[in-house]
Amino acid sequence: MEFNHTQAIYLQIADFVCDQVQLQHWLPEGKVPSVRELAVTLEVNPNTIMRSYEFLQQQGIIYTKRGMGYFVSADAIKKITAMRKEQFVQEELPQFFRRMFLLGIELDELKGRYEKYKQRQIKA
């Protein structure tokens, strides 16, 4: 995994875990790799993985069974979608609007393009 240079590593790892769940590589109620396993795979300090897992646990995306490690919550996908939607609205949308504003693009102009995009996604 290549880490970017801007965001804290523990958040990038949390993001990676969310990707795995959304893509259904890791299934609801399934076991999440142990702290050590993921530390080795991603070549980072196990304490950093621990921090990512604690963060995800606070968000209700994973939970811990005593002595057995971490598991994906039953409603993890729903929670991730909600969390990422919030993130999109807070962080990405303002930048997107800024570009639109600078380029003088109106929302109506985008509507048709977005509809076409959606149709292509459904076909694929």
Residues that bind other proteins (CB under 8 A): 3-9, 11-12, 36, 39-40, 42-48, 51
Output 10 or 70, the one with its CB closest to other proteins. Answer: 10
The helix (run of H) or strand (run of E) holding residue 64 is strand 62-65
Joined tokens for residue 73: 């919550």
Runs of H (alpha helix) within 8-106: 9-22, 35-42, 46-58, 76-87, 93-103
Minimum gap (Å) between residue 10 Cβ and other proteins: 8
- Give min distance, CB of 73 to other proteins, in A: 23
Q: How far is the CB of 55 from other proteins (least distance, A)?
A: 10
